[in-house]
Structure 1
Amino acid sequence: MAVMGKKKRIVTLVTVHAILILLVITALFPIALVVLNSFKPHVAIVANPLSWPESFTPVNYSSAWSYAKFGIGFKNSIILAACTIVIVLFTSTLGGYVLATRRGKVVNLALVYFMIVMTIPIQLFLFPLYYVMSYLKLVGTVVPISFILAARNIPLALFLMRTFFLNVPKELEEAARIDGANTGHVLWYVMAPVVSPGLLTVSVIVGLNAWNEFLITSTFLQGEKNFTATLMLRSMSGQFGSDIGIMMAGAMILIAPVLIFFMITQRYFIDGLVSGSVKG
């Protein structure tokens, strides 16, 4: 029986690892293909997209960077992502604290409301939002668009932060109240450090969403000087749509910062999701 149990565990372990390896290959193969083809001329890609580059010269990268003006795009993307993160963190921290520590019909209605909002597609609001932004003469400016992106991300961030606040022992807040701390002190000096993994998790999710955003930015950001990196890559398709090598290099320039950022923060991101999944 012991031998059979050991064999069964080995078979299970091999099967699980085989599936994981298959999933890794499936996820990494497209990225590897883009990297290889970004160093090849268009003719070589058309002839055999799976072939190895003759040389790893950054000609396509320099062409993509200069023609797509990624310097301007990165600056606007960073501004947009940073503003969106700040707005979402501030509102979701306050809202999550209230939804986690208060009880009543109003809180329940708020939870239902944010649940419903998460299911409504943003396309339904594009026309009225554009009308308002145009009336306020804010179309084509980066910072005001961050409020639209923040509104889109706040419902999910609220539920995440509420879960993290629910995991904080009530005794911690009660001790701070006894010592004379008001709500502001309790929130920012006692609760915020404890839920810092949640703040980091929300920052990563919102930052990635803002960096990759296309529909809203393409609708409200007009003028090349206000384009994000995603829109700059899109603008290349008209001039370099027939040159796959340069387009592949532009795609790598766009996704490289996201990959590096996620690789650096993935441990904290996963820890935050796990630690916030105990209660709901």
Structure 2
Amino acid sequence: MSIAVPSRTPARKAPNDRTASADGRRRRFPVGRTTVYVVLTALAIFSLGPIVLFFFNSLKTNSEYAADSLGLPTSWTWSNFTTAWTQANMGAGLWNSAVIVIGTAAITCVVAGLAAYALARLNVHGASGFMTYLLVATSLPSQMFLVPLFYMWAKAGLYDSRFGLVLIYCGLFSPFATLLLRSFMLGLPREMEEAARVDGAGELRVFLRIVVPNMLPGILTVALTTGLAAYNEFLFAVTMIQSDSKMPLSTTFFSFQQGFTQNFTLISAAGFIMIAPMLILFLALQRRFINGLANSGMGGV
């Protein structure tokens, strides 16, 4: 006689609204995404907070600033910007900075682009040693070159010259720019370059017609980084430029700050005028800037 044994089926647990969905699959809480949003919001407030406070202080009167330096202005004194623009001679400083920034970015892009092409595409003898030199050059502090450059530029007739300051900036920023463009160029395919060589194109033609159009995001990234660094640089500018008519905006703002140490509203207005051009330029080109860093492989890991 056979005895029927009832089949055992595992009992299903009731779906928990907090851990399981209607079809039995476990839901994932967006804890990681929420944390990322909170951190990014905190970083945005940390970055933009001083700029917003700087702008609000530039619209206050001295008495209002002394009473409350962290609050909103009650009377919006827009005349502080015109007064600071006139008294600090910021028009001439902005023009000098524009000449220095454009010259630095243009020469650095040409020098770094050619050097990066040679290191990434050509069989250059001693390329590894040159790469080591570039890495060492980027790690050295620029202050150690100040005294030798001062004597060399004075003897060469480049002291108190905007062109002399541009050459110094190109020497300071070219190593990093070369490394960045080389990393960007290593990610570009070689097929189009090889096809152009098969058709009889020389290296210069290949570089100008094939490589340069493909590496425009990297060139724009180099131009932005070097331009921003040259715009904000102070040590070499205050040492190598002495004429008021040739001073860039950083030294012009410093001279104005020394003469109006008690008028914090005018100093705030002049400072906001100084940071506004580069802030607008970066916000307008930030997507291309980030894409260039990401494609170059130097966006950070």
Bigger mean CA offset, 176-185 vs 138-147: 138-147
Aligned to 1:251: 271
Query: Per-residue displacement from partner, 1:86-144 (whole Å, max 9, x unpaired)?
Result: 11011111000011013466000000000000111111111110001111222111112
The question of whether the paired residues in 2 share the 8 Å contact of 1:79 and 1:143 is answered with no
* Residue 13 of structure 1, aligned match among 19, 33, 36: 33
For structure 1, the 5+ residue unaligned runs are none
The question of whether the paired residues in 2 share the 8 Å contact of 1:167 and 1:278 is answered with no
In proportion to residue count, which structure has more helix?
1
Query: Per-residue displacement from partner, 1:192-215 (whole Å, max 9, x unpaired)?
Result: 001111111101101101111101
Tell me by how many angstroms 1:60 deviates.
1.2
Tell me by how many angstroms 1:11 deviates.
2.2
* Residue 71 of structure 1, aligned match among 91, 97, 102: 91
SS in structure 2 opposite 1:56?
coil
Aligned to 2:180: 160
Query: Per-residue displacement from partner, 1:66-102 (whole Å, max 9, x unpaired)?
Result: 1110111011001101111111011111000011013
Aligned to 1:141: 161
Amino acid at match of 2:283: M
Distance 2:38 2:106 in 1: 42
The question of whether the paired residues in 2 share the 8 Å contact of 1:39 and 1:53 is answered with yes
The question of whether the paired residues in 1 share the 8 Å contact of 2:118 and 2:124 is answered with no
Distance 1:2 1:104 in 2: 61
* Residue 170 of structure 2, aligned match among 143, 147, 150: 150
Tell me by how many angstroms 1:238 deviates.
2.1
- Spell out the pairing of 1:89-108 with structure 2 (5 A cutoff): 89-103=109-123, 106-108=126-128
Distance 2:49 2:106 in 1: 35
Distance 2:109 2:61 in 1: 44
Bigger mean CA offset, 175-184 vs 101-110: 101-110
For the aligned residues, what is the CA RMSD?
Answer: 1.8
Change (3 A) 1:2 1:170: farther
Bigger mean CA offset, 101-110 vs 46-55: 101-110
Amino acid at match of 1:200: L
Tell me by how many angstroms 1:13 deviates.
2.1
Using the aligned pairs only, state the percent identity.
33
SS in structure 1 opposite 2:126?
helix
- Counting matched residue pairs gives 279
Distance 1:107 1:196 in 2: 24
Taking structure 2 as the reference length, the TM-score comes to 0.89
Aligned to 1:199: 219
Distance 1:275 1:145 in 2: 31
Which structure's relative contact order is higher, taking Cα pairs within 8 Å and 6+ residues apart?
1
Change (3 A) 1:278 1:253: closer
